[in-house]
Structure 1
Amino acid sequence: MEAASPDALGPGTMLGPWRLSGRVGRGTYGAVYRAAREGEEEAEGVALKLAVHPRDERFEREAELLSRIRHPRVPRLLGRGEWTGGPWNQPYPYVVMEWVEGMGLYEWARLRSPSSRQVMQVLAQLTQALAATHGVNGLHRDVKGDNVLVGPGGEAWLMDFGCGSYEGAKPLTEGPLAPGTRPYRSPQALRHLWTQRRGGASYEAKAADDVYALGVTAYRVVTGQYPPPGTDLEAKQAGRRGGGGMRAPAHALNRRVSRELSALIERMLEDAPEKRGSASELTGALERAAARAGAEADVALQGAVQSAAPTVRFPVCSSASPRWRGLALVVPAGVVLLAYLVVAVSVRYIPDGSWKLQPDAGLEDAGRVGLADAAVEASPTFMIGHRTSGTSWNAVALDMPKGPLKGQKRPPCRPRWEVEVNKACWSQVGTVSPPCGAEGYEWKGFCYMPVVAPERPNTSDGQ
């Protein structure tokens, strides 16, 4: 009988004193299960996050960071341990956190149509969570809507500290940037990536980077789109291409957004880190603005996106793995265009500016989920840690398969920019670090797309 993999453990499996009741999510580095301490199965339960890679040091770092944070807007660490198993009987670390019931921030915004006041109240709770994290010399490093849960009463939690770090922690990745999500990178991080694109020192993230990412998150909540990447270089490149590149304030894109909220979002998106303010300073500013705002702040923000981004459906990941076979993903057309650029145009390195083909860039959830975006077909899902649904179109990333996918090119992998991995040909997506989005695959700290096999000539005599 084949040993169970860490992301496919069945109900009743014991991990130390914890009995699993079912899996609720799967990310790049971990699978999230609902569990309960043995003998306390009638209790509310906990969230157990199990590594999908053996001896993954990220889990020890995440547990250590969570153990230092004491704040109601951050899930409490309840335990940590190690499970030995899998096909090679290896040790897989896990962390146990309090169970949080809620809905992903973007889905909450789309389905609940909150007012500017309600958005400011949610943001104030998130800046409180960031202030508590920064107060222990920690960083989240992956603030985004997918890592925020909102409860039925408007209570918000900052989730998933898997990319987090703290002062003195051992670096776990190589490359110019730590793991994170591309559209939320600060201008300083993107400029560093550009200057170090041929190798060099790693970027040292700061608290101001978390604040900027929260500004991107807030901008997307109320406008349904990402702001342009915040670098002078990319703005100039966009101008030469006729793309503008200048960020419009949120209230200019959605007239229902209050001026107070729009101004605070602009503050978080300031180019200069010192102008953004600390998380604690922003908490006070958001709370005061929410308390003092007039009736215009109570107008529902429904209708932020008047026209949804075009979407296409196509099957991917039809590999030997049964769980992905026949899966249809919903992705923006720009992501498909990007994939074809990677494979067909065969560019080994893609400058950062080229990601502006489509703001979503496939690096987060695969569909654009603005407040009134009817193109994304999703139902409210209550969960812990990562969004889950009946399909996997919003998966954080995919692990490199152990063999070629259906329709994928096999060796020899030519030209030189094609890379052979597990008897298949792959193309690296620039210098993008994981998570790689729903259609990207991670390998050795970078993101890859499968190279499509050329069609064979039809040798049949039939017509």
Structure 2
Amino acid sequence: MDTAFPEKLPPGTIIGSWQVVSGAGRGAYGAVYRAVLEGQEAAGWVALKVALRSREERFEREAEVLSRILHPGVPRLLARGEWTGGRWRVPHPYLVMEWVEGLPLYQWAWECSPSSRQVLWLLAQLCRALQAIHAAQCLHRDVKGANVLVGANGKASLVDFGSGTYPEAPPLTEAPLAPGTRPYRSPQALRHAAAHAWDGARYQAGPEDDVYALGVTAYRMVTGVYPSQEEDPAVGQGTRQEAQPVRQPPHLRVRWIIPELSALIERMLAESPSERGSARELADALEAAAARAGPEADCSLETSAGFRPVVAVVPEPLGWRTPLRAGLIGAVLACLVIGLSTQRVSEHSWPTPPEAEQPDAGTVGLADASVPPEALAAAARAEDAPLPEELVALEMPKQPFAGQKRPPCKPHRETEIRGGCWAALLNAQSPCEDDGYEWAGKCFLPVKARPRPDTSNYP
């Protein structure tokens, strides 16, 4: 047994036959670690995913989904088991999967600024992975940029099957929609959730929902923004919101994109599920378009411009009235934040993280055996409480990315973190979006270094 928390396992921790090397990320239901087979470090790394709470049934379903799929674009399931640990020394399921080396999709697009041909081949790989998933009668249900890793050789992999399912899988939530990420949900899913907010009737997702989510991913990869939906009803409300602006095709937003790629992305985003086509049909079309495209398909799409962050600017004080005004505004905002925080805690029944607890001096060092039975029962109830739907953040890298700006960073506009310059996202707090990096409770994006001027024309 181990008293370490599943989300903070130190290097060297042994789980089954595997030894933790370092942390690799955390999601809503599990923490992922880089690990090796104990005593066989030369055999290479594996991805060790440990459930954040005991009796996590999603791990059972994720293991079943992975065991049914055999495709190079999907990590293989290597082992599974239970690790007894945590504050209450209870069993936590874990999965061991093939390690996938690569960058998250949007970060890869930001760094590499790919061409239309490269995007076509990459999307074709992801469609082939979806084809294998759907052929196994499974669904991913959370296709998005954060769940796509791109290797140095351009190999794309679809990861994180925590929301995956198969026909005979028992439902695990009472909400109309399975856990996922709202901007990637199909119009049919959003309309169903709005219509059944009160009766809880479950939406039956299909392969066409995965295809639509891939279309959203592709659109954002090449344009830097999410596609607008003409009808986007508020989930949980029975009223329809005002119509959103009609989505612009990618070729109206991106200068160098070829028409074939723009048309195929629009096809994935079609309102009618039947018009989107199957993953296999799309893979065939993407591969054919990449093969027959001319030299214009090799021009960079300059996708990095779409991910340029909005930085927070701190204005200089204008006089004695400015601090006073700022203090009054700060007090009002603090009251609003406290009120909203209290409301959110009561809505989600979110248990206090163990590391955030502040015990008094009299309780430090007490054995778990001295915990009263009613406290153990309360902890078990908290463990069973539903987790928030979207709790995903990218771990801050230990060194700057290639092409990232290095210090000196611009005062008041950029923050130096681990040797690189980062821009804070306005109005964004942890957990960050799938392309934001978390640091000290805030969300950041890397600042891209400006290219050095060409000195070949100078004497």
Q: How does 1:147-158 map to 2 (within 5 A)?
A: 147-158=147-158
CA distance in 2, matches of 1:186, 1:9: 37
Q: Which residue of 1 aligns with 2:57?
A: 57
Q: Which residue of 2 aligns with 1:131?
A: 131
C-alpha deviations, 1:200-228, integer Å up to 9, x for none?
A: 30111111000000000000000000001
Question: 1:232 and 1:401, CA in 2 relative to 1: closer, same or farther beyond 3 A?
Answer: closer
CA distance in 1, matches of 2:15, 2:214: 35
Q: How does 1:88-103 map to 2 (within 5 A)?
A: 88-103=88-103
C-alpha deviations, 1:13-54, integer Å up to 9, x for none?
A: 111111221222111111111112222112212111010111
Kept after mapping to 2: 8 A contact 1:104/1:150: yes
SS in 1 for 2:42: coil
2:214 corresponds to 1:214 = yes
Q: Structure 1 stretch 196-205 or stretch 301-310: which is displaced more?
A: 301-310
Question: 1:85 and 1:249, CA in 2 relative to 1: closer, same or farther beyond 3 A?
Answer: same
CA distance in 2, matches of 1:48, 1:405: 25
Report the CA distance between 1:141 and its aligned residue: 0.4
C-alpha deviations, 1:173-231, integer Å up to 9, x for none?
A: 11111000000000000001111122330111111000000000000000000001353
SS in 2 for 1:22: strand
Q: How does 1:259-270 map to 2 (within 5 A)?
A: 259-270=259-270
SS in 1 for 2:43: coil
CA distance in 2, matches of 1:200, 1:260: 41
Q: How does 1:69-148 map to 2 (within 5 A)?
A: 69-148=69-148
Q: Which residue of 2 aligns with 1:415?
A: none
SS in 2 for 1:274: helix
CA distance in 1, matches of 2:25, 2:170: 27
Report the CA distance between 1:276 and its aligned residue: 0.3
Kept after mapping to 1: 8 A contact 2:24/2:34: yes
SS in 2 for 1:160: coil
Q: Which residue of 2 aligns with 1:417?
A: none
Report the CA distance between 1:299 and its aligned residue: 0.6
Q: Which residue of 1 aligns with 2:163?
A: 163
* Unmatched 5+ stretches in structure 2: 315-332, 358-377, 379-385, 394-428, 432-459
CA distance in 2, matches of 1:251, 1:15: 50
CA distance in 1, matches of 2:22, 2:221: 31
Letter of the 1:21 partner, please give it.
V
Q: Which residue of 1 aligns with 2:352?
A: 401
Kept after mapping to 2: 8 A contact 1:175/1:199: no
Kept after mapping to 2: 8 A contact 1:186/1:230: no
Question: 1:2 and 1:200, CA in 2 relative to 1: closer, same or farther beyond 3 A?
Answer: closer
Report the CA distance between 1:161 and its aligned residue: 0.4
CA distance in 1, matches of 2:79, 2:256: 44
Letter of the 1:274 partner, please give it.
S
Letter of the 1:141 partner, please give it.
R
- TM-score (normalizing by structure 1): 0.68
Q: Which residue of 2 aligns with 1:229?
A: 229
User: What is the RMSD of the two structures over their aligned residues, measured on CA atoms?
Assistant: 3.3
CA distance in 2, matches of 1:19, 1:403: 23
Give the paired residue count: 342
- TM-score (normalizing by structure 2): 0.68
SS in 1 for 2:205: coil
Question: 1:295 and 1:191, CA in 2 relative to 1: closer, same or farther beyond 3 A?
Answer: same
CA distance in 2, matches of 1:214, 1:118: 16
Kept after mapping to 2: 8 A contact 1:139/1:207: yes
CA distance in 2, matches of 1:104, 1:398: 31
Q: How does 1:179-198 map to 2 (within 5 A)?
A: 179-198=179-198
Report the CA distance between 1:405 and its aligned residue: 8.5
Question: 1:432 and 1:5, CA in 2 relative to 1: closer, same or farther beyond 3 A?
Answer: closer
Larger Rg: 2
Report the CA distance between 1:233 and its aligned residue: 5.4
Q: How does 1:435-446 map to 2 (within 5 A)?
A: 435-436=390-391, 439=429
Letter of the 1:213 partner, please give it.
A
Question: 1:2 and 1:404, CA in 2 relative to 1: closer, same or farther beyond 3 A?
Answer: closer
SS in 1 for 2:203: coil
Report the CA distance between 1:245 and its aligned residue: 1.8
Report the CA distance between 1:59 and its aligned residue: 0.6
Kept after mapping to 1: 8 A contact 2:115/2:298: yes
C-alpha deviations, 1:112-156, integer Å up to 9, x for none?
A: 010011001000000011110101110000000000000011110
Q: Which residue of 2 aligns with 1:273?
A: 273
Question: 1:283 and 1:222, CA in 2 relative to 1: closer, same or farther beyond 3 A?
Answer: same
Kept after mapping to 2: 8 A contact 1:80/1:93: yes
Question: 1:230 and 1:282, CA in 2 relative to 1: closer, same or farther beyond 3 A?
Answer: farther
CA distance in 2, matches of 1:189, 1:309: 30
2:44 corresponds to 1:44 = yes
Q: Structure 1 stretch 4-13 or stretch 143-152: which is displaced more?
A: 4-13
Letter of the 2:117 partner, please give it.
R
Kept after mapping to 2: 8 A contact 1:28/1:399: no
2:202 corresponds to 1:202 = yes
Question: 1:271 and 1:400, CA in 2 relative to 1: closer, same or farther beyond 3 A?
Answer: farther
Bigger relative contact order (CA 8 A; separation at least 6): 1
Q: Which residue of 1 aligns with 2:255?
A: 255
* Unmatched 5+ stretches in structure 1: 315-335, 348-396, 407-421, 423-430, 442-463
Report the CA distance between 1:310 and its aligned residue: 3.0
CA distance in 1, matches of 2:233, 2:181: 19
C-alpha deviations, 1:2-22, integer Å up to 9, x for none?
A: 921111112221111112212
CA distance in 1, matches of 2:252, 2:188: 26
Question: 1:231 and 1:259, CA in 2 relative to 1: closer, same or farther beyond 3 A?
Answer: same
Question: 1:405 and 1:87, CA in 2 relative to 1: closer, same or farther beyond 3 A?
Answer: closer
Q: How does 1:271-420 map to 2 (within 5 A)?
A: 271-302=271-302, 305=305, 308=308, 310-312=310-312, 343=340, 400-402=351-353
CA distance in 1, matches of 2:59, 2:152: 30
Q: Which residue of 2 aligns with 1:14?
A: 14
CA distance in 2, matches of 1:233, 1:51: 33
SS in 2 for 1:139: coil
CA distance in 1, matches of 2:46, 2:113: 30
SS in 2 for 1:138: coil
Question: 1:72 and 1:2, CA in 2 relative to 1: closer, same or farther beyond 3 A?
Answer: closer
Q: Structure 1 stretch 121-130 or stretch 14-23: which is displaced more?
A: 14-23
CA distance in 1, matches of 2:304, 2:45: 37
Letter of the 1:246 partner, please give it.
V
SS in 2 for 1:118: helix
